[in-house]
Structure 1
Amino acid sequence: MSSSLSNLMISLSEGEQEEAWLTEAGLARLFDDSLAEEDSTVFLSTLTRTQAAAVERRVTSLQQTLRRRNRQHVPDVRDIFRPPKETELNVEVAFSEQALTYRDDHQKLTASPNSPDDKLPNFKLLRDKTGQTRIGDLSPQDMKKVRRLVLVEMTALFDTAGIDLKAHKAVKVKTKESGLFGVPLATLLDQDQRRAPGTKVPFILQRLINHIEEEGLDTEGLLRIPGAATRVKTLCQELESSFYDGMFPWQQLKQHDAASLLKLFIRELPHPLLTVEYLNAFLAVNKLPTKKQQLQALNLLVLLLPEANQDTLKALVEFFKRVIDHQEKNKMTLNNVSVVMAPNIFMFKGFRSKITEQQEFSMATSTANIVRLLIRYQNLLWTIPKFIVTQVRQQNMESLKKQNKDRAVRKLLKKITTDKPSDKAVPEEGSQGFIRVQAPQFSKISMAVQLTEELQAADVLTRFLSQDSSVTVKREELCLYEIGGNIKERCLDGETYMKALLQLNPTAEWVIKPVKPLV
């Protein structure tokens, strides 16, 4: 596949790859001081040794390239850096650090990409009292920091295994500006969001999935047996012309035809669902030595995907899991679904037309393991590891310290404190065993909550709803948020222990408000 794929992409020239990587990580100032970008020192100060080594390698490589080109000397950045059970996922220690320990222990165990469904380990996250953080729980400002850290961590993880990730830039593909099939994901969502703001997954994909489920998931060979090619082509044309008008005859659509349309939709995307940028990294997951490291790499790669790709991929793997749940009737096991769907997910419009059926079969075999992991461990992969959230908290605190060194900022903060004396109430109440929970969007604006060792975020929501009968929002649509201190904003997992979190972020405010609606 790699040679065929390379024909459709242009390798970045010497030096360009390092520059592009450093720029994406928000570290462009390390090679160009003239750039008006935020100071990199705070970001660099929170990196682990393996993450720092990944940055250092690319800066060193770029330095050597620039010297060869007789360009200006780039300052050496080395001085900037601060020098469980197998089935349990430790998310408190950087994955790359864990991989380094594994490598140094010279363990000989290797991953088996084609192990049977029932041989995949039952990985589980070690529970943390301060709660899990999932994609969508953090503010856009903190998610920007997450993405930069994840890029460095993902690269460090592959570096530790001796895997060199070659970046590519996609050749421009002619795309449609409207319609359903062969339309860029962002364009599809834009046209759907004009009809229903907040839409996360294209309407056409949602409708096809709903239709298949409404008609029943017991159909034997679902996703594997194709619909008649000529009929599917006709149906595709009918959908293009009548989907948004509501005139498409869904009641006449057969299961295998609907499944073929779903696969066609994914294949016809002008750019791969896993993105051209990270497709090689997804493929390289198979080269990592253990299933745990493969899972950790996929976790990081999912976090790196654009939001639209994350949401659409999640909708797909959740659907695949529901298909597999009916395997006694439809005969579609995890392995069967993965082998069938892998070529659709890893190929895209321009690529598919250039390979033979034999190459497509070979590709299905090599990529099925990755799709199996995406389906099997989907509940883990859309979680932000605690060590990344911890680094975000450290960056926020370091940034605050730097701001406080500026006298003008200190005066402004003092004025704000004077104007808003209630801000002091949170740490004072917390020290007395209470927190004050705000609910500005509801009639009961705030309430004091006594802390105990066992009090969880879900308990706070229960207490609030029991005291304010005027709230018409459903329990599952509400969230208790941690706001301020060392985090911008975080929607709390219901099993978060409030006393433990208060110790981690003593100056935070606690606010109950509706979760942003997911369509």
Structure 2
Amino acid sequence: METPAVAVAAVAAEEGPGGGRPQEALPWAALPRCAEPCRAAPLRRGAGRGDGSMSWLPGSRGVVLTAYHPSGGGGAPGGRRSGQYTMNHDNSKKTPDGASFDRSGSQDSLDELSLDDYWKEVENIHETRRNNHEEREALVVKEPDEGELEEEWLKEAGLSNLFGESTGDSQESMVFLSTLTRTQKAAVEKRVETVTQTLRKKNKHHQIPDVRDIFRLQSDPKEKVCDENETSAVRTTENRSGTQDETKGLKFSVGTNEQKTPPQDMPFSETDINLEIPFAEQAANTKDSSVGKMCKGGGGDTLPLNFRLPKDKTGTTKIGDLAPQDMKKVYSLALIELTALYDTLGTEFKQQKAAKIKTKDSGLFGVPLSVLLEQDQKKVPGTKIPLIFQKLISQIEETTLETEGLLRIPGVATRVKSLCQELEAKFYEGTFNWENVKQHDAASLLKLFIRELPQPLLTVEYLKAFQDVQNLPTKKQQLQALNLLVILLPEANRDTLKVLLEFLQRVIDHRDKNKMTLNNVAMVMAPNLFTFHGFGSKTIEQSEFVMAAGTANVMRFMIQHQKLLWTIPKFLVNQVRKQNAESQKKEKKDKAMKKLLKKMAYDREKHEKQDKVPNDADVPQGVIRVQAPHLSKVSMAIQLTEELKASDIVARFLSQKSGNVQTLKKEEVFLYEIGGNIGERCLDDDTYMKDLYQLNPNAEWVIKSKQS
């Protein structure tokens, strides 16, 4: 079977006396034909080949990915079509600093990354699909009606009572809106306006509330004209002070005179990821201060890929550290923040929705994650990762991770197909013989599992948003968007993705032996993660020719910065704290009203208060009482100091040599912050307890094991 040839041509910007001006994309006929089928040329600076490809030239303003077939033969094998795509991210004038300062994140890395591995993997995927004659129903993305996307967005954000028949009962949403930032409010207001206009068209005889009425309570007449210094000061104070003003009410508005703190210089370097100030607010400030300097496509962003998280004295919060009720709030806020970020940067954010299709209700390959986990949990209760996925990874690792070309070199197609069928029949029976599985075959099965999911691991809703990350102006903003997208993934998808990325990093750790660098792994895995069996051939072709370099860079970001991506930004946690505090105030008012209605006796209330006083008096100022119900030392008073960390408290409890404490390991137990303005939060070892106590003085402190 004839292999298609792919030529990758770089469009150079020729510098003339009148300044740099990019050439037109090379016409189809101008590309030289190959006598032999040829593969994609690596996009390396100045690396020319004689196989019909052209090299990446310094000062290039774009990349043309052009696919064609030699000798003008028949159609492309495997249903692939010929076509071209021009990646012109930046059409603005060149800065005097040189070409390297004009390229986007994707373009910068094209100097380093070879697309050879990507196209080889695409060919392997096509070959696998040609050998697999089983036909499955293609996943179709529904074309939404007018206002439908915005309505679904508001429902997912927990703001469904801002429109429709339930609009009148929106007190809870008003509380929620009071904790939003300026850019977050703008994102909500934009969607409410769209839905409202749509409803007006459909229900002209019904009275639909105006969006201005919904936001009237939170709006400020000075909000839109506040100067940049004032805005920066308010945001900095809000995020640095945490919830210190909770007792005065939760007005998370920007541009008011509520806080008079002067502007402070943030101790963050260019490579630090600031988790205290909302990402969209950072983008708005950057946009305002660099009008005309930063254009879409990443002009001027030359930051290296060594981003880091500055230490937070109140502790870093990871996904999985919060209670479900708080995580639900984080999800809503993350969706609003991501939308606000895309709005601020002028990038379209649209969730996609797939039409319902018939899927397998049993088996291993081509089965929805939810179905897999349901059947796996019958075998192993509490399982969060599909058993077959875990076993394939362990099978690869048990042999060795030093095998050259691991993940890149495919297994034998016929053997992989046979193994797939045998696994379907014998895996749950426990009779499958893993000794006969070669390492490259196991790697091919792992990639096949990911591709064969009826819906992509990154979900239909957010797959396009993951792909569009490459279009954001700076690498830091791309990383911020990926962070929010990971939070938005369903738990099963997110957990499986985490296991995959951790495995890929372990493969990269052995790159000296297996020759699989970060770039190689990203190129090989991108087609598997961003294309999948469910979509029809048209979408697959677009992923091949249009998304190649972009998705590979997104893949690389996800592998390299996976620890950062599984971190919940502090500003989201602070907003959750504010919501909880406001809800508690409302509950107290409701309880007080109920007591009045029931005409409870004054002496009974007094008696209840007296019962509480001795308990509070037991703990002196600057001391917390830590509970450890499952340890031999069940309670201990701890004096707070400036340097006391959560790990110190846990170590103090574990040092008690009695009971079952000797069998416990430090990695098995954690200190938890429970109650007050948070539901429950597992503390990281480097949390400074005095700082956290000041943030949440009403919390209880409990040592317990973390639920797996």
Name the TM-score class by shorter chain.
over 0.9
Q: How far did residue 418 of structure 1 move?
A: 5.9
The worse-fitting range, judged by mean Cα deviation, of 253-262 and 459-468 is: 459-468
Map 1:362-511 → 2, pairs under 5 A: 362-406=546-590, 407-408=592-593, 432-470=621-659, 471=661, 472-511=663-702
Distance 1:54 1:119, change over 3 A: closer
Q: How far did residue 73 of structure 1 move?
A: 1.6
Contact 2:319/2:487 (<8 A) preserved: yes
Distance 1:288 1:37, change over 3 A: same
Paired residues, number: 511
The worse-fitting range, judged by mean Cα deviation, of 150-159 and 197-206 is: 197-206
Choose from 41, 50, 68 the match for 2:201: 68
> What is the DSSP-based 3-state SS (H/G/I as helix, E as strand, rest coil) of the residue aligned with 2:454?
coil
Distance 1:428 1:333, change over 3 A: farther
> What is the DSSP-based 3-state SS (H/G/I as helix, E as strand, rest coil) of the residue aligned with 2:381?
coil
Q: How far did residue 348 of structure 1 move?
A: 2.3
Q: How far did residue 79 of structure 1 move?
A: 1.2
Q: Mind listing any 5+ residue stretches in structure 1 that lack a counterpart?
A: none
Contact 1:168/1:277 (<8 A) preserved: yes
Contact 1:417/1:423 (<8 A) preserved: no
Contact 1:110/1:290 (<8 A) preserved: no
TM-score (norm 1): 0.92
Q: Find the counterpart in structure 2 of residue 152 from structure 1.
A: 336
**Amino acid in the other structure paired with 1:511:** V
Map 1:293-304 → 2, pairs under 5 A: 293-304=477-488
> What is the DSSP-based 3-state SS (H/G/I as helix, E as strand, rest coil) of the residue aligned with 1:54?
helix
Counterparts of 2:178 and 2:165, CA distance in 1: 18
Larger helix percent = 1
> What is the DSSP-based 3-state SS (H/G/I as helix, E as strand, rest coil) of the residue aligned with 1:74?
coil
Matched, 1:26 2:158: yes
Q: How far did residue 367 of structure 1 move?
A: 0.7
Contact 1:429/1:435 (<8 A) preserved: no
Q: Find the counterpart in structure 1 of residue 440 from structure 2.
A: 256
Q: Find the counterpart in structure 2 of residue 9 from structure 1.
A: 141
The C-alpha deviation readout for 1:270-325, integer Å capped at 9, x for no partner, is 01001111111111111110000000000000000011011000000000101111
Contact 1:168/1:276 (<8 A) preserved: yes
Counterparts of 1:257 and 1:417, CA distance in 2: 73
**Amino acid in the other structure paired with 2:181:** T
Counterparts of 1:38 and 1:229, CA distance in 2: 59
> What is the DSSP-based 3-state SS (H/G/I as helix, E as strand, rest coil) of the residue aligned with 1:89?
coil
Counterparts of 1:336 and 1:495, CA distance in 2: 35
Distance 1:307 1:422, change over 3 A: farther
Q: How far did residue 78 of structure 1 move?
A: 2.4
User: Identity of counterpart residues, as a percentage?
Assistant: 60
> What is the DSSP-based 3-state SS (H/G/I as helix, E as strand, rest coil) of the residue aligned with 1:488?
strand
Q: How far did residue 424 of structure 1 move?
A: 5.8
Matched, 1:242 2:413: no
Q: How far did residue 410 of structure 1 move?
A: 6.4
Matched, 1:334 2:518: yes
Q: Which has the higher contact order (CA 8 A, sep 6+)?
A: 1
Q: How far did residue 366 of structure 1 move?
A: 2.6
The C-alpha deviation readout for 1:447-486, integer Å capped at 9, x for no partner, is 1111111000000000011125322332211111101110
Q: Find the counterpart in structure 2 of residue 125 from structure 1.
A: 309
Q: How far did residue 128 of structure 1 move?
A: 0.9
Distance 1:484 1:357, change over 3 A: closer
> What is the DSSP-based 3-state SS (H/G/I as helix, E as strand, rest coil) of the residue aligned with 1:303?
helix
Distance 1:16 1:357, change over 3 A: closer
TM-score (norm 2): 0.68
Q: Find the counterpart in structure 1 of residue 178 from structure 2.
A: 45
Counterparts of 1:290 and 1:424, CA distance in 2: 55
Larger radius of gyration: 2
Counterparts of 1:484 and 1:289, CA distance in 2: 40
Q: Mind listing any 5+ residue stretches in structure 2 that lack a counterpart?
A: 1-82, 86-137, 219-252, 255-267
Counterparts of 1:221 and 1:347, CA distance in 2: 22
Distance 1:7 1:191, change over 3 A: closer
Choose from 56, 78, 81 the match for 2:215: 78
Contact 2:619/2:637 (<8 A) preserved: no
Contact 1:430/1:506 (<8 A) preserved: no
Counterparts of 1:289 and 1:302, CA distance in 2: 20
Counterparts of 2:362 and 2:207, CA distance in 1: 47
Q: How far did residue 197 of structure 1 move?
A: 1.7
**Amino acid in the other structure paired with 2:158:** G
Distance 1:333 1:424, change over 3 A: farther
**Amino acid in the other structure paired with 2:678:** I
Counterparts of 1:238 and 1:256, CA distance in 2: 17
Q: Find the counterpart in structure 2 of residue 232 from structure 1.
A: 416
Q: How far did residue 85 of structure 1 move?
A: 1.4
> What is the DSSP-based 3-state SS (H/G/I as helix, E as strand, rest coil) of the residue aligned with 2:655?
helix
Contact 2:313/2:691 (<8 A) preserved: yes
**Amino acid in the other structure paired with 2:281:** E
Counterparts of 2:408 and 2:614, CA distance in 1: 61
Distance 1:290 1:410, change over 3 A: farther
**Amino acid in the other structure paired with 2:629:** P
Counterparts of 1:442 and 1:7, CA distance in 2: 52
Distance 1:421 1:267, change over 3 A: farther
Counterparts of 1:392 and 1:291, CA distance in 2: 27
Q: How far did residue 154 of structure 1 move?
A: 0.5
Distance 1:237 1:405, change over 3 A: same
Contact 1:426/1:435 (<8 A) preserved: no
Counterparts of 2:401 and 2:296, CA distance in 1: 32
> What is the DSSP-based 3-state SS (H/G/I as helix, E as strand, rest coil) of the residue aligned with 1:511?
strand
Contact 2:530/2:543 (<8 A) preserved: no
Contact 1:456/1:494 (<8 A) preserved: yes
